[in-house]
Amino acid sequence: MDLTQTAAPAAAPSAPSEAPRFDTLPLDPKLLRAVADQGYATMTPIQAKAIPVVLAGRDVMGAAQTGTGKTAAFSIPLLQRMLRHENSSMSPARHPVRALVLAPTRELADQVANNVKAYSRHTKLRAAVVFGGVDMKPQTAELKAGVEVLIATPGRLLDHIEAKNAVLNQVEYVVLDEADRMLDIGFLPDLQRILSYLPKTRQTLLFSATFSSEIKRLAESYLQDPVLVEVARPNATASTVEQRFYSVASDDKRAAVLKLLRERAIKQAIVFVNSKLGCARLARAFERDGLRTNALHGDKSQDERLKALDAFKRGEVDVLVCTDVAARGLDIADLPAVFNFDVPFNAEDYVHRIGRTGRAGASGLAMTLVTREDARLVAEVEKLIKKKIELEPLELEDDRWRRPRRPVSTEERGAELPRRAERAAPLRRSAAASADPFFDRPYVPSVTTGTPAWEQGAPSIAQTGVSLHQKPRKKIAALFGAKKTEASAA
Whether 380 and 347 have beta carbons less than 8 Å apart is answered as yes
- Verify that 51 and 95 share a domain, yes or no: yes
In a domain, 13, yes or no: yes
- β-sheet bridge partners, residue 295: 321
Round to whole Å and give the CA distance between 54 and 60.
7
Whether 181 and 197 have beta carbons less than 8 Å apart is answered as no
In a domain, 429, yes or no: no
- Verify that 75 and 130 share a domain, yes or no: yes
Round to whole Å and give the CA distance between 431 and 435.
7
Q: What is the pLDDT of residue 448?
A: 59
For 256-294, how does the pLDDT look when each residue is reduced to its tens digit (9 = 90+)?
999 998 888 888 888 999 888 888 889 899 988 888 898
In a domain, 377, yes or no: yes
Q: What is the pLDDT of residue 453?
A: 61
Angle 206-384-324 from CA coordinates, rounded to 5°? 65
Whether 61 and 174 have beta carbons less than 8 Å apart is answered as no
Round to whole Å and give the CA distance between 344 and 324.
8
Q: What pTM, to 2 d.p., does this model score? A: 0.58
Sign of CA dihedral 278, 284, 290, 293: positive
- Verify that 279 and 131 share a domain, yes or no: no
Residue stretches of the chain with pLDDT short of 50: 1-17, 399-405, 490
Cα dihedral 270, 271, 272, 277, rounded to 10, equals -120
- Verify that 255 and 207 share a domain, yes or no: no
- Verify that 225 and 76 share a domain, yes or no: yes
Sequence-distant (6+) residues with CB within 8 A of 443 are: none
Q: What is the pLDDT of residue 405?
A: 47
- Verify that 217 and 331 share a domain, yes or no: no
484: left (phi over 0), alpha (psi -120 to 50) or beta: beta
Sequence-distant (6+) residues with CB within 8 A of 455 are: 468
Among the candidates 230, 256, 280, a domain finishes at: 230
Radius of gyration of the chain (CA): 38
Round to whole Å and give the CA distance between 52 and 45.
12
Among the candidates 207, 230, 253, a domain finishes at: 230
In a domain, 456, yes or no: no
Q: What is the pLDDT of residue 435?
A: 66
Round to whole Å and give the CA distance between 1 and 213.
16
- Verify that 53 and 199 share a domain, yes or no: yes
- Give me the domain span that covers residue 355: 241-393
- Verify that 251 and 224 share a domain, yes or no: no
- Verify that 44 and 185 share a domain, yes or no: yes
- SS3 track for 273-328: CCCHHHHHHHHHHHHHCCCCEEEECCCCCHHHHHHHHHHHHCCCCCEEEECHHHCC
- β-sheet bridge partners, residue 245: 368, 391
Round to whole Å and give the CA distance between 103 and 174.
11
Whether 191 and 100 have beta carbons less than 8 Å apart is answered as no
Whether 293 and 268 have beta carbons less than 8 Å apart is answered as no
Round to whole Å and give the CA distance between 5 and 7.
5
Among the candidates 338, 363, 393, a domain finishes at: 393
- Verify that 223 and 268 share a domain, yes or no: no
- Verify that 283 and 324 share a domain, yes or no: yes
Report the domain count for the chain.
2
Q: What is the pLDDT of residue 392?
A: 87
In a domain, 479, yes or no: no
In a domain, 295, yes or no: yes
For 16-75, how does the pLDDT look when each residue is reduced to its tens digit (9 = 90+)?
446 788 888 899 999 999 999 888 888 888 888 899 999 999 998 887 666 677 888 899
Sequence-distant (6+) residues with CB within 8 A of 466 are: 472
Whether 167 and 198 have beta carbons less than 8 Å apart is answered as no
- Look up the CATH number of the domain holding residue 62: 3.40.50.300
- Verify that 49 and 179 share a domain, yes or no: yes
